[in-house]
Amino acid sequence: MAITAGRDRIVLAMMLLHPGRVVSVGELVDAVWDEDPPSTARAQLQACVSRLRRVLPGGAIVTDPAGYRLPAGPDELDALAFDRLVAEARAGRDPARLRAALDLWRGEALVGIDSRPVRAAATALDDLYTATVEDWTELELAAGRDRELIGELSALVERFPLRERLRGQLIRALAGSGRTADALAEFRRAREVLRDELGIEPGRELQELHRRALGDSRAPVRSLPRTVGDFTGRDDVVRRLVRVIDTSGTGAPVIAVIDGMAGSGKTTLALHVASLVGEWFPDAHLFVDLYGYGEREPVEPSAALLTLLRQLGIAAEAVPAELEGRVTMWRSELARRRVLVVLDNAYSSAQLADLLPAAPGTLALVTSRRRLAGLDGVHPESLPVLATAEATALLERIAGDRVRDEPAATAEVVRRCGGLPLALRLAGARLAHRPRWRVADLLRRLGESALPELAAEDRSVAGAFALSYEQLADPAKRMFRLLGLRPAPLFDVLTAAALVGMPLSDAEDLLDDLVDAHLLDEPEPGIFRLHDLLREFAATLAADLPPDQRREALVAVLDLQTYAFAATMPAGYRMMLSQDLGSAAALRPDLLAALADPVERLEWERPQLTAYVEAAAAAGEHSYAWWIPRAAWLYLFSRGYSDDLRVLFQRALAVAEKAGDRQGVAVVANYLASAYCRADDFPVGLELLDRSLRAHEELGNRRAVATVLGNRAGVYVAIGRFADCVDSALASLRVRYLAGDRTPTRVPLHNLAQGYSHLGRHEDALRVSRLALMSAMATGDRGALAQTLNHIQRAKRELGLATSAGQRRYLAASLRLSAACGHLGAEADSHNELGIHLRREGAYTEAAREHEAALDIIRRAVDRLHAAVYLNDLAITCRLAGDPSSALELHRQALGAVAGRGMRYDEARARAGMAECLVATDPEQAARLWRAALDDFTEMGTPERFDVERRLAAVGG
């Protein structure tokens, strides 16, 4: 419903002009009646407000003792939304937001309201609108949109004829569009209006524009290509570049060099930045494509200078023929102007040497696919690919709402495009020109090979890559092609050297060349990666190589990985590996000698291990398909990477079975068993060990038979078959002795010591643990040393031979050794043993902390067996500290971790512990639990059965 009453409109206008503020009765009276209010003014105001309330939504006007207030949110009034948009636009130099703010206006402010305060406010609003128009126009003129602005500026000049800045902008737009006569005529009209209305001459800026329009050689030049309207992302880079340009002052030219891989949007970024800062360089905006990467030869500096000088309006016949003369003229012209120049697609620093401006107040934006390290005094920006959010936003701006409607398919398209702007633009164009396609349709078209689909007319991602590739020297081309054979994305210089069959130093030089050419990334020092699309491009090139060359390169990589992973092992384990692999020697011992930290290297290679297995299988190199997992096994197992172990060795086993490789099957089955046992699937673990045992016996591998028997003893410990553990461990030692190996072996000795300890044969456990210590010292295995020190102090403790100081020394040494080598199991066990020692000394709080530290470590390894051990020990500590309820809960957790999984010893310990916690409050339940534990302890033959029998007798059970 329209508000037509004059006084009502004035009252509403006053409240709208001051949203959220109380407008006093006095202000309203002055606005309505000026200096002659009637005696009934207050009553008439109340009537106005009442009428307004009937028209406006409920609660729109709030009464206050001092007057009236109209609350309003930031976007409920056009004036407030206008202020917000203008502030945001000025902060980001964003013409689109300024345009959005201006579009909120629908004519003159508060037209038809006859009130002195309202008219004054309306004039201020009109001034604000006009100033904003002028700011927006400056940005649009800087972006080269002169022709599009003429109509709107002409109308505004008619409305605001005394705004000199607005007149000047219209003159610039006319001149920039080639309408010089119209520009001169507009200046004449401006002079007449200013003389007639104000009695003054045009200001200095209008006079300067007039002089340029008359034909001065310093007339504005706009030679930049059209920039894209959907520029997206790169906010941090844009801010940095604008800040560098803005804070540089005028004492020196600003030179910003933007480099990046083909298709990363370098030129688009340069033109976008130029549009933002163009008004700071009013005399000329120049552009030249140097064709550093293209089908044409790179542009010679002399030819580039001719193009630039001609853009400045210098006649061709006036340009010197020789390079030196052109350089002199170029620098002389720039010395008299504020100029922005975009030097696009540069090939080298040498190509740019004579083109870069030397005069203060000039800006050069350089783009190149190569890092131009030879340039001094420049601001470099290397463009990465777009982040996922930026890439998704770009795709949406090109293709519309479909992108938002299918988030999963969109995420996969973005991933397949690798965040590369050119790829995203081409993919988005496919969607934009096929309105019936869904994003999922595009994703299906991309298929396994995205490059063929990322093309439109004469533009393609593969074509852009090819231009960069063709500029490489032959050795770098060969390396890039061979990198297409890499099974996994990340690699180091050792891998590259093996791949191309060259010395390490030569490979380093070629990698540097590829990084400088942005055909390769170096995400971490010394670790390299091909962009996914570049990998696909390199693989396409590699497919044309002779098969024997491809095989030789791949085998070299697989062989290097096998022996590099083996280097993470202590010497004793490497001897066992040699027995499994046979007599093969490493193909590149020189590269292995250069390994700085084999453990660190295997850690970043770990996620890629399956890729090596798959590559070996696909190439028919089935030996490497199980050699690589075998070489990495100890590292993976000791650090608790159980899922990796299972996946890796399952695939290796399938490859060995398919190839009929009995040795491979025998070895892999043995080590795959460790993954299943770590996951508490002991029946499958034992089945695999039996399979390995049979295969090794058939092959006559007696040392390997001994290894499997020793490993099987460890499984028997886990499931409480301690007598079988002792038998299997002794059998392992016997077979090894009969095979001629007189060296004490840690694994069967370690498991034998555990079997003896659980059976209460602590003297035998101590003797065997000392033999295991000798073995660990001989091989330098720090993890084994830590474990055997734990076993020795445990046996001494049970035999009453250990002093407090002695136990602490053992455990401190064990902790140092296990932490240093990353052996999670030994480190956790050391903390738990220290907890038991502290508990025996009555230091329950400190003991609990050690048990909890053991639990934190072992949970990372997803080891339920040892988690149950430590939970039971922590529970005992809590009970002895006087907290039976916590102890009961911990024993229940231990039981839940192992119940039904075959770990009978720890189940029985948990039940016996629960009984101790319940005996005072529920003796019947305690007796039931003890009886269940007694059955297990008796069947396992462990000495705990005697303690349980005594406890049952005490409660009459």
CATH of the domain at 11: 1.10.10.10
744 phi and psi angles, rounded to 5 deg: -60, 140
pLDDT tens-digit series, residues 641-667: 988 999 999 999 999 999 999 999 999
93, 119, 143 — which closes off a domain? 143
Q: What is the mean pLDDT of residues 410-427?
A: 89
- Helix or strand holding residue 527 (H, E): strand 527-529
- Residue 523's CB is within 10 A of a number of other CB atoms, namely 10
| pLDDT computed for residue 201 by the predictor | 78
- Separation between Cα atoms, residue 540 and residue 469, nearest integer Å: 13
21 phi and psi angles, rounded to 5 deg: -105, 145
Task: Look at residue 745 and tell me whether its pLDDT is greater than 80.
Answer: no
- What's the sign of the alpha-carbon dihedral 290, 296, 298, 299? negative
36 phi and psi angles, rounded to 5 deg: -135, 60
- Separation between Cα atoms, residue 483 and residue 520, nearest integer Å: 10
908 phi and psi angles, rounded to 5 deg: -65, -40
Q: How confident is residue 743, by pLDDT bands cut at 50, 70 and 90? A: low
- Helix or strand holding residue 560 (H, E): helix 547-566
DSSP assignment, residue 844?
A: H
| pLDDT computed for residue 217 by the predictor | 40
Assigned domain for 486 exists:
no
| Shared-domain flag, residues 114 and 229 | no
| Shared-domain flag, residues 322 and 416 | no
Q: What are the structure tokens assigned to 299, written together?
A: 């542009």
| Shared-domain flag, residues 444 and 298 | no
| pLDDT computed for residue 2 by the predictor | 64
Pairing of strands 339-346, 284-289: parallel
Assigned domain for 396 exists:
yes
Cα separations (Å) of 486 from 49, 612, 755, 772, 773? 79, 9, 47, 42, 42
Q: How confident is residue 218, by pLDDT bands cut at 50, 70 and 90? A: very low
Q: Annotate 683-697 with b (16+ C-beta within 10 A) or e (fewer).
A: eebbebbebbbebbe
Task: Look at residue 215 and tell me whether its pLDDT is greater than 80.
Answer: no
Assigned domain for 885 exists:
no
Q: Comparing 841 with 93, which gets the higher pLDDT?
A: 841
69, 90, 123 — which closes off a domain? 69
| pLDDT computed for residue 837 by the predictor | 92
- Separation between Cα atoms, residue 757 and residue 794, nearest integer Å: 9
pLDDT tens-digit series, residues 561-582: 999 999 999 877 888 888 888 8
Task: Look at residue 457 and tell me whether its pLDDT is greater than 80.
Answer: no
Of residues 486, 516, 513, the one with CA closest to residue 605: 486
| Shared-domain flag, residues 41 and 113 | no
Q: What is the mean pLDDT of residues 218-244?
A: 84
| Shared-domain flag, residues 227 and 359 | yes
Task: Look at residue 742 and tell me whether its pLDDT is greater than 80.
Answer: no
| Shared-domain flag, residues 234 and 370 | yes
Pairing of strands 339-346, 363-368: parallel
Q: Annotate 581-596 with b (16+ C-beta within 10 A) or e (fewer).
A: beeeebbbeebbeebe
The answer to whether residues 290 and 544 touch, using CB atoms and an 8 Å cutoff, is no
Q: How confident is residue 214, by pLDDT bands cut at 50, 70 and 90? A: low
User: Angle at Cα 372 formed by Cα 367 and Cα 375, nearest 5°?
Assistant: 105
Task: Look at residue 130 and tell me whether its pLDDT is greater than 60.
Answer: yes
120, 143, 166 — which closes off a domain? 143
Q: What proportions of the chain, in percent to the nearest 5, are helix, strand and coil?
A: 65, 5, 25
- Residue 102's CB is within 10 A of a number of other CB atoms, namely 18
| pLDDT computed for residue 1 by the predictor | 53
Q: What is the mean pLDDT of residues 386-392?
A: 90
Q: What is the mean pLDDT of residues 601-623?
A: 95
The predicted model scores a pTM of: 0.68
| pLDDT computed for residue 197 by the predictor | 82
DSSP 292-342: SSSSSPPPPHHHHHHHHHHHTT--GGGS-SSHHHHHHHHHHHHHTS-EEEE
Q: What is the mean pLDDT of residues 329-334?
A: 89
Q: 3-state DSSP call for residue 2?
A: coil
DSSP 343-393: EEEE--HHHHTTTS--STT-EEEEEESS--TT--S-EEEE--PPPHHHHHH
pLDDT tens-digit series, residues 497-555: 999 999 999 999 999 999 999 999 998 999 999 998 899 999 999 999 999 999 999 99
Task: Look at residue 446 and tell me whether its pLDDT is greater than 60.
Answer: yes
Q: What is the mean pLDDT of residues 608-633?
A: 96
Highest mean pLDDT, choosing among 145-149, 244-248, 938-942:
938-942
Q: How many residues does the chain have?
A: 957
pLDDT tens-digit series, residues 916-935: 999 999 999 999 999 999 99
Q: Annotate 709-745 with b (16+ C-beta within 10 A) or e (fewer).
A: bbbbbbbbbbbbbbebbbbbbebbbebbeeeebeebb
| pLDDT computed for residue 37 by the predictor | 83
Range of weakest confidence among 20-24, 846-850, 892-896: 20-24
User: Angle at Cα 890 formed by Cα 886 and Cα 896, nearest 5°?
Assistant: 145
Helix ranges (H only) for 199-300 are 204-213, 235-246, 266-277
| pLDDT computed for residue 9 by the predictor | 83
| Shared-domain flag, residues 61 and 82 | no
Domain count across the chain: 5
Assigned domain for 83 exists:
yes
The 3-class secondary structure across 867-927, one letter per residue, is: HHHHHHHHHHHHHHCCCHHHHHHHHHHHHHHHCCCCCHHHHHHHHHHHHHHHCCCCHHHHH
Q: What are the structure tokens assigned to 330, written together?
A: 């170029």
- Residue 178's CB is within 10 A of a number of other CB atoms, namely 11
The answer to whether residues 744 and 772 touch, using CB atoms and an 8 Å cutoff, is yes
| Shared-domain flag, residues 265 and 340 | yes
- Separation between Cα atoms, residue 513 and residue 509, nearest integer Å: 6
Q: 3-state DSSP call for residue 626?
A: helix
Amino acid at 128: L
Assigned domain for 410 exists:
yes
Of residues 728, 785, 798, the one with CA closest to residue 758: 798
Q: What is the mean pLDDT of residues 900-926?
A: 93
The owner of tokens 């474990």 is 787
Task: Look at residue 249 and tell me whether its pLDDT is greater than 60.
Answer: no
Task: Look at residue 216 and tell me whether its pLDDT is greater than 60.
Answer: no
- Helix or strand holding residue 554 (H, E): helix 547-566
| Shared-domain flag, residues 50 and 93 | no
Give me the CATH number covering residue 365.
3.40.50.300
Q: What is the mean pLDDT of residues 217-242?
A: 82
Assigned domain for 855 exists:
no
- What's the sign of the alpha-carbon dihedral 541, 543, 547, 552? positive
| Shared-domain flag, residues 139 and 260 | no
Of residues 809, 739, 743, the one with CA closest to residue 776: 743
- Helix or strand holding residue 528 (H, E): strand 527-529
Assigned domain for 895 exists:
no
Beta strands per DSSP E along 11-145: 22-24, 62-64, 67-69
- Separation between Cα atoms, residue 761 and residue 754, nearest integer Å: 10
Highest mean pLDDT, choosing among 20-29, 388-397, 928-937:
928-937
- Separation between Cα atoms, residue 121 and residue 138, nearest integer Å: 26
Assigned domain for 734 exists:
no
| pLDDT computed for residue 845 by the predictor | 94
pLDDT tens-digit series, residues 867-883: 899 999 999 999 999 99
pLDDT tens-digit series, residues 98-121: 888 788 777 777 777 878 888 888
pLDDT tens-digit series, residues 275-314: 998 888 888 899 999 998 877 889 999 999 999 999 988 8
User: Angle at Cα 110 formed by Cα 108 and Cα 111, nearest 5°?
Assistant: 65
| Shared-domain flag, residues 230 and 367 | yes
The owner of tokens 């190439």 is 619
- Centroid of chain to Cα 752: 48
The answer to whether residues 768 and 745 touch, using CB atoms and an 8 Å cutoff, is no
Of residues 388, 428, 427, the one with CA closest to residue 411: 388
- Separation between Cα atoms, residue 624 and residue 611, nearest integer Å: 12
| Shared-domain flag, residues 360 and 346 | yes
Mean pLDDT for the chain overall: 88
Q: What is the span of the domain harbouring residue 22?
A: 6-69
875 phi and psi angles, rounded to 5 deg: -60, -45
613 phi and psi angles, rounded to 5 deg: -60, -45
Q: How confident is residue 957, by pLDDT bands cut at 50, 70 and 90? A: low
Q: What are the structure tokens assigned to 638, written together?
A: 């000791």
Q: How confident is residue 744, by pLDDT bands cut at 50, 70 and 90? A: low
